[in-house]
Structure formats: C-alpha cells, structure tokens
Structure 1
Amino acid sequence: MTPDNASQSLADFIQSSPTPFHAARSLAERLQAAGYQELDERDEWTLADGGRYFVLRNQSSLIAFSLGQSNALRNGIRMIGAHTDSPCLRVKPQPELTRHGLWQLGVEVYGGALLAPWFDRDLSLAGRVTCRDSGGQLHNLLLDFQRPIAVIPNLAIHLNRDVNGGFAVNAQTDLPPVLAHGIEPNRDLRALLANELTQQYPEREPLQVLDYELSFYDTQPPGVIGLDGDFLAAARLDNLLSCHAGLEALLRSDGKQACLLVCTDHEEVGSSSACGADGPFLEDVLARLLPDESERIRTIQRSVLVSADNAHAIHPNYADRHDGNHGPQLNAGPVIKINSNQRYATTSETAALFRHLCQQVDVPMQSFVVRSDMGCGSTIGPITSSRLGVRTVDIGAPTFAMHSIRELAGVRDVAYLQKVLTAFMDCEQV
C-alpha cells in the first residue's frame, strides 16, 4: 500500500471512530466484510480449522484471530496489541448547567489530555447510549451528532493579560463546553439524546434514555499537510493509528500462521477494567482457543506480542527533552521502545526479532529511550506480558503532540508500520 493510500485509509477509519465504541464497530465492520465471523462470549464456540473470528467485549474492545493452516497454533500465535481509547472530555451523569444565558455541560477529563488545545475548537458529541423501549427491553445504541454542537471559548487576552506566560487549566471550571443559549427552559440532555436517536434510528420506536457514555471530539477531519504532503494531522492517532495498522496486517496476512489482533479499551486510564489489557479478556479468549492448560502454556511460549502504541518523535523546538542518541524522527520508520525499568516490555530478543523483520521488508526503524532524568510512559505491553508470560516488543509510529486534540504523524510511517506488521503476521519462525 502506498503512503497516500495508507494515510487515506487511516483517515477514513479515524473519521468513523470518534469514541472507543465506534472504533470497535469500525474494526468489526471491516472484519465482517473480509469474512471474519463474530462470536459471542455468552455462547458455546465451535471453531473450524483455518477459521477467522472476532469477539467484542463492552462494545469497546475487540479480539480478532485467524487460526491459520492445520496445526498452526503449534508454531505459536503472532499477536498485535493496541488500544481503542484516547484522552478526551467525558460528559458527567448530571451535566446540565445554565449560566448567564448559556447552556453548558459539565465534563470530566479522561486520561492524560493536553487541555489547552481543546479551547476554540468545533466540538461534537458521540458515544454509547443505553435506552429502554416501551416493552421494557434495554438497548445499547451508538450515537454520533457528527455536526459541531459545542465549543469551549477561550477567555480574551484583555481579561487575562498573563495568559501567554502560562495558564493552568482548571478542569472543573474552565472546561464545560457551551452548547446553546439557555432560553429554552429546563433543557435536558437525555431528551436531546432521545431526539437524536430517533433521527439516527428512524426504524425504532421512541426510546427512554437511561444512561450514557459520551465524549466530546473535534469535528475537524484528518488531513495530509505540509509543503510536500509529509504529515498526517488527526485526532486520536494515539492509538487508532496502531489499531488500523494491526487490522491491515491481519487482513493482508497470507493466512498460514495463527494470528491475533487485540484492541482494548481504557489504556489511557491504566487498563484495569473488564475490557482493558489488565483485565481477563485476552486470557479468556485464549483459554477457549486452547482449553488444555498445558497446551496453552506451550503455545504462548512459542508466541510473540507486538505492542503497538505511538512513540515520541523528536520535536525541533524541544530537542533537549530527548536523549541525544534516541530522538526518533517522523517518516523515518517505526520505533522500538526500550525501558530498563520495564515501563516497556521490549527485550533484546524481541527487539532483535523486530529489527530482523524491518530489514527483511526494507523498512527503516528507530529506537527510543527516555532521558534518564525524566519519567517514562507505558503501554499495554508490560501489562499483557506479565499476565500471559508472552514475549513482547513495544513499538510505535513516531508522532508529535501526543494526547493533544490533534496529533501529527508522518505519512510514510503509516505505510511502514503496516508493512512490517504484515511481515510479522506472515513470519514462519518467531
């Protein structure tokens, strides 16, 4: 796939995935179109040799797997892991605020978000809404307003003269978005959601909204930018870029090896949930693939997990924030992430395997180690590795402005990552 095609495919995926629920649905739709069969965890599973399947949990996490040729599991499973969530602003349970003639919604910061870029953006609202029909049945429906319905206006510099010297954002008081004039009395979010659901699901009867998980997001679509079209600017590149690359690798693999893609929710808040990487989702699926515990352990010990999550590219205006020998550049290939304190799960063995794969398919690669006097982020890699005992390498595409409302990646890196991950899925010996 050319860099332009890879970036456009990723842009389309991001545009259709404003929340983890929508991202999981987008992944599921692509898998179904490619012939993957959906499984339900509440049912008995009958898996065929060479079968291709996927399963959802909480509508926000997904595991897809291809069993490969006969006895392929004996050679281990090629696993790619990523996460569906991104830092954002989540709507509170009782959010309605009417102040000074304006209607606002109270929000809670989800994850380690860069907050300043959220001001003065055209925002929309999306997520999952749980409703009840007239017969008392509950339904989980995905909702996306799609159009700009909110904004968080900055305070004019005339009223905050020192703002350019540093502005500490108060998440409670500074972030409630403005949605409308407060002229309409007793405006209610649940009534607004019910009306929107009626428009988005016209075949359904009117529904009573009981609860929701809603996030604001930037409506500006992804775009290829730069004088020579070198960069992809988009929301949620961390970590939809990796989810998309893993999906492309799975769908483009030759089908000979046993392959698995796991995209879990809640990474940005620690992964400790029923559908997060620190929960039992992956272990539950592997236990059903390989019911015999001894066989499962042997298979896992023959397997490798590529934990794919974006890496920090060296910013030309802040080069001193990187170790001098470990400053990844945009468009220079995927990054192997290393930390001796196990914030990343990479070992010399797994790093060597990834370097070997990159060399085999002519993909450049880079290394990242955080400065020794700075803290280090983490990924699902150490969590999954410690739960399963699987060999793991942490890698990712280099990006700028990680955790901003709009991030930046190199267009060539999108294609590079897809290419090497496909080679990993097809690798005969790991």
Structure 2
Amino acid sequence: MAEQATAAREVAAGLIDYLGASPTPFHACAETARQLRSAGFTELAEQDEWPAEPGRWFVVRAGSLIAWSSEHADGPTARLRVVGAHNDSPNFRIKPQPDLARAGWQLLGVEPYGGLIAPSWLDRDLGIAGRVAVRTASGTSELLFEVDDPILRISRLAIHLDRSARDGEQFNPQQHLVPHWGLGDTPDDFRAFLGEVLDVSPRDVLAWDAMTFDLQPAALFGRRGELISGARMDNLATSYAGTRALIRATEDGPDAPTTQVLALFDHEEIGSVSERGAQSAFLMTVLERITRQLGGDREDLHRALAGSVVASGDMAHATHPNYADRHEPQHRIAINGGPVLKVNNNLRYATDSAGAAAFSLACEQAGVPMQSFVVRSDLPSGSTVGPITSALTGVTTVDFGAPTLSMHSVRELVGTEDQRMYADALTAFLAPA
C-alpha cells in the first residue's frame, strides 16, 4: 500500500506539471512531444517521406498529436492497440477584431468555446495563450505564446445591482461575458500586444488562435491530499495518462506482437469536425502510413484493423454528494474507485461487450478495480471521440474515463489515486498480456 501511495503521488505530481505546461491544445501537444522525445520517440513531418522501418515515432498537426511504437510489431498486419483522447477544453477565445472600450474600461472581445460553465470563470485572474501566425521573409510561421500574468478578468455584477442573482444568474455571452484588461476610453490594441509578446512588428501579426486560461495552478486538495484540483482535467488528465502509458508500454513491451498508438485530438468539445479533429482523416492516414513503414499496403492495414481495439478516454462523472439523485442509482461512481467503463446503448459511447471485455482485462492485468458508468434513462448522455473513431476505422472501441467532479468548470476535481490506476490500466491495455 505504501508503494502504491508513493506511486500515486508521483503520478499526481506529473499530472500537475502537465496541466501547468498545457494552457492550450497547442501547448499540450508541445509538452507531450517533449516527453516523447525524452523517451526516444522521433518527430516526423507529414510532408516528408517517412522511414520504412519500425520504431518510436510521433507527428503533430496543430493541436492534435499521434504517436506510436512499432518496435514490437511482427509485420504490417500486427494488431493495433490505440488509446484515443482529446486535448481541448472549454474556455473563452479571442475574436479577430477584439478591441473594445465601454464606460471607461478597455475590453477584449471573446467567444465562448465548448460547453463551459460561465459562472465558474467570473472574478478569476485569467491569462492568454495560443498560437499566432506571423509574416516571415519566406512566408509565414506559427509561434506559440503564453502570458501567465493576471491580464484579464470577467467581473460579476454586484448582488446589490441584481437581487435576482440569488435565484440563478443569467448571462448573455455577447454582453455580460466580456473580459476587461485595462482602463481608458480608447480601445487597446490586441495585435500590437501580441507583437510585443512575440517581439515582432504588429503588421507581421497576421492571425491568431488565442484563448484564456485560469492562472491558479493545479494542486493536491483535501485533508489528506487524496484529491487534485485544477483546470482542464477534462481531458488533459487522459492525455497525460495516455502519454505515460505509451512510454511505459513501449519500454516494457507487450507479450504479443502489437503496434501501440496514442491519438490526441483537438476540437472534441465542439464536435470534432476539423482537419485535426477525430472526424478528420488524420488517424486513418497515419495508420496507413504506419503500415507502409512496416512494408505493407492497404490490404495489410485492413487485416491489422480487423484484430485491433481502440480505447477512447474521456473523463467520467463521479457521483456528486449533493446531487446523488442526478446519477443512475445502480451505477455509483466513486472518486479513487478506479477507471470507469462508459456504456450507452444508444451509442453515445462506443462500448460493446467485446470492447468492454478488452478494457476489463486490462484493468485486471493492471491490478486495479473497474467501475461502470451509465447515465440515468431520463437524462441525455454526453459523448466522446469513441463513436467517431469506431465508425471511421471499423475497429472495436471501448469508452472509458476517470472519475471527475465539476466537469467543464474552470476548475475540476479528480482523485489522486485514480490517476495512478488510470495510467496503469492504459499501460496494460497498450501492452496486453
């Protein structure tokens, strides 16, 4: 037990560092890439010819990343074990013409991204991070930036000016959720601000993918430190567990010949329809090129897919102590109770009996308990990249997660011990006995 507790603290510390390094999907890919390089993985460019040999590789497409190890494959028809997740989280994103001034305040125009819980973002110190396209002598370049100073705030209206707030606040995102970042009757210049941050001329700042993030760092929480509180747990906790699992599984090696894959997608929170989302051709294109690296063709790829399994990871709703009636009573989900198998017979989750069996065996192999989540029959279910990936690849797919409270809040809560069990289960899934 002491050994497990020590391991749990070590994984928790790694997750806290990962969250701090990943305020945006672009930064999450950069941090994942850094960890992969340290473990002997080599980055490949999509436009280049890829080496025709097995190895440890990864490729980044903006805010998405796919990594794989084919070191243990016995040829192009080796079965695939794929862990899928998403890198994006709900937040506010900066508009193309954001400069505003109102009532003596300088404001910044933003657009809500994904299903965020707006009140949780109010009265918090916010930073800005993202990607900027800049003009260069040879064309354009894309640069990452992060401003981790308290530069933005969305201030709540005082209760004295809206007594109805006690009955539940209502927000018009265009009018009420506009952050301020200075005083003045004249709008500030966001383009010039980015130029200063990046040390380039404002005229060379051509476009941006810029977003807000909460500056309060993730931390151990609770009287005994059995919890972790932080932003973007959904779904960077899965991205971290998957990255850790791929590295460990590659180093340990599976008992059976397997190609091990990690796919981290952007844009899941808004439907996954983009050139790098789960509904794109990104994964299938990479899988085909992996097959060609191993000397195979499309026939070999389809033979490999027929024996493969995808595990789609997205955080799962823990049973809330103050709202226990909102949960399926026969499927109580406990924090620090182990990974969660997610089932929905209307296929909002992709899990079927074959996929459930594969994940159950992985948890058994890892020596961790498994929980099962089903949404109440009178409530709609959320979804994941699982059904999309299953449909595009034709591969048996299982949806799973780790227990979470306050999902889509600016600050979410997970279990410390759960993070160790999560990574252990994914390691076993990628390297089945």
TM-fit CA distance, 1:358 = 1.3
Distance in 2 (CA, whole Å) between partners of 1:372 and 1:7 is 34
> Could you report, residue by residue, the CA deviation over 1:195-247 in whole angstroms, capped at 9, with x for unpaired residues?
0112xxxxx78872111011111000001110111110010000000000000
- Closer/same/farther in 2, CA of residues 72 and 320 from structure 1, 3 Å limit: farther
For 1:128-147, what aligned pairs fall within 5 Å after superposition? 128-133=131-136, 135=137, 137-147=139-149
Identity percentage of aligned residues: 46
Summarize the Cα distance change of 1:167–1:39 in structure 2 as closer, same or farther, 3 Å threshold: same
Listed one character per residue, the Cα deviations across residues 254-279 of structure 1 (whole Å, up to 9, x for unaligned) are 23431000001000000011100000
Q: What residue is the counterpart of 1:410 in the other structure?
A: 415
**2-side partners of 1:174 and 1:327: how far apart?**
37
Q: SS state of the match for residue 422, structure 1? A: helix
Q: Which runs of 5+ in 1 are unaligned?
A: 199-203
Q: 1:12 aligns with which of 4, 14, 17?
A: 17
CA shift, 1:75, in A, is: 3.6
- CA deviation vs aligned residue, 1:255-312 (integer Å, no higher than 9, x gap): 3431000001000000011100000000111111224222111101111111010000
Task: Report the counterpart of residue 201 of structure 1 in structure 2.
Answer: none
| 2:209 aligned with 1:219 | no
Q: What is the match of residue 121 of structure 1?
A: 124
What's the CA shift for 1:70?
4.9
Query: What value does the CA root-mean-square deviation take over the aligned residues?
Result: 1.4
Listed as ranges, the matches of 1:98-247 within 5 Å are: 98-133=101-136, 135=137, 137-182=139-184, 185=186, 187-198=188-199, 208-247=204-243
Report the TM-score, using the length of structure 1 for normalisation: 0.95
* Aligned residue runs from structure 1 range 247-266, under 5 A: 247-253=243-249, 254-256=252-254, 257-266=258-267
For 2:228 and 2:402, locate their aligned partners in 1 and report how far apart those are by CA, in whole Å: 12
Match of 2:3 in 1: none
The structural deviation recorded for 1:48 is: 1.8
Q: Aligned AA for 1:171?
A: P
2 CA distance for matches of 1:167 and 1:123? 21
* Cα distance change, pair 6–129 in 1 and its aligned pair in 2 (3 A): same
**Distance in 1 (alpha carbons) for counterparts of 2:203 and 2:220:** 40
Counterpart residue number, 1:3: 8
Equivalent position amino acid for 2:299 in 1: S
Note if 1:86 corresponds to 2:82. Answer: no
1:106: Cα distance to partner? Answer: 1.0
Distance 1:157 1:70, change over 3 A: closer
1:104-144 CA deviation, whole Å, 9 max, x = no partner? Answer: 111111011111100000000000011113x2531100010
Q: Does structure 1 residue 294 correspond to structure 2 residue 296?
A: no
Change (3 A) 1:205 1:161: closer
Gaps of 5+ in 2: 1-5
The aligned counterpart of 2:395 is: 390
CA distance, structure 2, for counterparts of residue 217 and residue 397 of structure 1:
22
SS in 2 for 1:424: helix
The aligned amino acid for 1:243 is S
Q: Select 1:54's aligned residue among 44, 54, 58.
A: 58
**Shift, 1:190, TM fit:** 0.2
Distance in 1, matches of 2:195 and 2:353, equals: 54
Conserved in 2, the CA contact under 8 Å of 1:66 and 1:255? no
1:355 CA drift (Å):
1.4
Q: Could you tell me whether the CA contact under 8 Å between 2:124 and 2:154 is conserved in 1?
A: yes
- The letter of the residue matching 1:143 is F
Instruction: Find the aligned partners of 2:174 and 2:68 in 1 and give their Cα distance.
Output: 42
The CA deviation at 1:68 is 2.4
Question: Within 2, Cα distance between the matches of 1:70 and 1:269?
Answer: 35
Distance across 2 between alignment mates of 1:17 and 1:236:
9
The residue type paired with residue 251 of structure 1 is I
* Counterpart AA for 2:210: L
Instruction: Give the aligned residue type for 1:55.
Output: V
> TM-score, normalised on structure 2?
0.94
State the SS of the aligned residue for 1:158.
helix
Cα drift, residue 73 of structure 1: 4.9
- Are the equivalent residues in 2 in contact too, given 1:72–1:258 (CA < 8 A)? no
SS in 1 for 2:151: coil
Contact 2:76 2:301 in 1 (8 A): no
SS across alignment from 2:152: coil
Secondary structure, counterpart of 2:341 in structure 1: strand
The amino acid of 1:40's aligned partner reads A
